[in-house]
Structure 1
């Protein structure tokens, strides 16, 4: 049916072509379909061959690596080697590249970058084998998105002097940034897989603190749940934090005791803050038991650690946010921003976590005229396009 459709397509120009197949009977036709799209000067090309249950490894044909029309390219494989031909790669119009579940060597990545002089946005989701990502010669590249987890190492060494926007979901594996001198906006979290029961608390704190050092001059920051929990863990242990020049800060997390110390510290160390947004989004996957066990091994009392500086105890379960907890949280935010020349504070609660009616919430006397609190009726989950 697909071949018949292509035979009926007579236009010499194609804007979008999305090929998604995991059926073995389609394998003999894939190269022909890809070649057809390229012959029509397609601008937005997506090749999706992700199938975790398949043993077949699709190999992208050599002719694919020389193209002057594609501006946006998405490739999803089943951890297949993305082997760039030794001779040549030329994607002279490519501006946006998304690679997912690819085994990508340092050499292949270097060829892609060298052959894509107009590249502006690069997304690498679970790209194994890649170790060194050197973007120093990609002068137009402004947006970098990287997802890593406990099973996928790459990349581990990143040089990105021209990047303006960074979205990084890191893992419990080493990753070093050498140069982020142009960075203006960053969104960070940590991938923690609960079923593995792996929680490298010391490593994670060291990694987060090193990352925060590199973010001191970034004006727009977003921290998600696990990242905030590690900041909180370091805070209750008395680890010193840098000061930040952030002006626009967004925190995406459920509201419970394991993020409160970190939120307090971030607000206290951000004297230039102009806009604060707190969204109730469940990105927290670190087990409470793992955190408390770690504190006990450090000779600390978890109950005392998680009490706020004002002596307030917050809910220890994400699903049990009571009215008193929400009120205390608002008070905590307002107190820690009271001396700031802040333009806007927004707190977005999520009804799925509340154990009270929103109308029952007692909002304290406000010291900020531009403060607002609202209720979201839809679950907020992380979106790849969010910043």
Structure 2
């Protein structure tokens, strides 16, 4: 008998039948739809659509996946995407991602297409919505009324200025980047009564007032590339605060419920604070005093090198350090002379401290080090033990031992000390440091762990 002709495949390259991958056994196609949908959630939707030509089993799988992703939409593709979505049959969208480049806006019709895509997601009760809009776009009123939305991630949403009432009654997580929010922020907050977590990155704001957000527990702020505007942070209900790269004019006005904080400044800021006119000595003292007072009830505190350098300068200027309630302190820094006074004072004013975690980093700036070291007493032999010019690439046992002794000497209630030196440890140094750590551990009755 003549063999039947081999069936030709219309599948595009890279979209072959899965059975070819498993010696004729199509293990993937035998999986339930829920698992196939999960697999497709890791690829853009245009790639997921190509699986429809694999076999009859795959023909309609993508149509029911609750995860849709459209990265880098262009003006030539946006209309075809809308046509393709006519075949989509899932009643519920769990996650919807849309990235639109500036070239998409060639005329007003493009904006209408974006309206349609967002409206489509909302009509399917989307729970997690991610929008990256790299061009002018005015959000329609329907965008601000979505009872199913639980998470919103937005980048470059400079024209998210609702004229209507905001009603995001289920929203729990909000993350915004590169947006001007002065006009819209109060409305967004009042329309999100269930909000638990707020992230703002490089957003322009004069006041972050969260006093009317009683469920909000987490506030994450990054002010990279933002202008040095005056901004007060009022967040009396939050339990966790991460504030990275803030400028000298941002201040904590009320974070009275704070339990955990992660604080660091722009890496070049201490250099400016060492000068006489930027800012003035009095402004510096007031700002640091206010911040330290607001952090005094924090139990878990994480600080970076720049903030430790600021504390060193504060110690020199005679800024009053309140008694802190820190029980776990995480130091993310390299071992440099400019950080020593700040670390010592921080430890001395934390009488309940029981754990210290040290993570060795490479983030430092030689110009900053030069300015901060002006205030280090050149006659203090203890300070001269630590380097003033460069960070070590390989852990030097004598230096690390001195650092451990510094931590132990200034912590009366310490029980655990963990040093994460990462790639800085080689076999020889590890053995030598382990012996030093063992000796210090027995002497001070503290558990010392090297990693």
TM class by shorter-chain length? Answer: 0.7 to 0.9
1:152 equivalent among 197, 214, 227: 227
Q: Does structure 1 conserve the Cα–Cα contact (< 8 Å) formed by 2:144 and 2:167?
A: yes
In 2, Cα distance between the equivalents of 1:226 and 1:19? 36
Q: Does structure 2 conserve the Cα–Cα contact (< 8 Å) formed by 1:169 and 1:191?
A: yes
Q: Does structure 1 conserve the Cα–Cα contact (< 8 Å) formed by 2:309 and 2:372?
A: no
Q: Does structure 2 conserve the Cα–Cα contact (< 8 Å) formed by 1:127 and 1:152?
A: no
Match of 1:7 in 2: 86
- Equivalent residues in 2 for 1:228-267, closer than 5 Å: 228-267=308-347
CA shift for structure 1 position 70: 0.5
Deviates more, 1:24-33 or 1:56-65: 24-33
Match of 1:347 in 2: 419
In 1, Cα distance between the equivalents of 2:386 and 2:448? 24
1:125 equivalent among 179, 190, 201: 201
Match of 1:82 in 2: 160
Q: Secondary structure at the match of 2:119?
A: helix
Q: Does structure 2 conserve the Cα–Cα contact (< 8 Å) formed by 1:257 and 1:313?
A: yes
CA shift for structure 1 position 244: 0.8
In 2, Cα distance between the equivalents of 1:12 and 1:288? 57
Q: Secondary structure at the match of 1:80?
A: coil
Match of 2:242 in 1: 167
Name the Cα RMSD after superposition.
Answer: 2.8
In 2, Cα distance between the equivalents of 1:345 and 1:295? 27
Q: Does structure 2 conserve the Cα–Cα contact (< 8 Å) formed by 1:127 and 1:155?
A: no
In 2, Cα distance between the equivalents of 1:368 and 1:48? 53
- Equivalent residues in 2 for 1:296-335, closer than 5 Å: 296=374, 303-304=378-379, 308=382, 312-314=385-387, 316-320=389-393, 321-335=395-409
1:359 to 1:30, Cα distance in 2 relative to 1, 3 A: farther
In 1, Cα distance between the equivalents of 2:316 and 2:172? 44
What are the superposed Cα offsets for residues 298-349 of structure 1, whole Å, 9 maximum, x if unpaired?
xx566446x536x634353123552221111112222222x31x33221111
| Superposition TM-score, scaled by structure 1 size | 0.82
- Equivalent residues in 2 for 1:352-363, closer than 5 Å: 352=424, 357-361=429-433, 363=436
- Equivalent residues in 2 for 1:172-251, closer than 5 Å: 172-192=247-267, 199-201=272-274, 202=281, 206-251=286-331
Instruction: Please state if 1:104 is matched with 2:174.
Output: no
Segments of 5+ residues of structure 1 without an aligned counterpart are 51-55, 376-387
Q: Rg: which structure is higher? A: 2
2:356 equivalent among 254, 259, 276: 276
Higher RCO by CA contacts (8 Å cutoff, separation 6 or greater): 1
Match of 2:215 in 1: 140
Match of 1:46 in 2: 130
In 2, Cα distance between the equivalents of 1:224 and 1:356? 29
Match of 1:384 in 2: none
In 1, Cα distance between the equivalents of 2:379 and 2:267? 25
1:206 to 1:178, Cα distance in 2 relative to 1, 3 A: closer
Deviates more, 1:232-241 or 1:130-139: 232-241
2:119 equivalent among 35, 39, 61: 35
Instruction: Indicate the structure with greater helix content.
Output: 2
Segments of 5+ residues of structure 2 without an aligned counterpart are 1-45, 47-80, 275-280
Deviates more, 1:165-174 or 1:314-323: 314-323
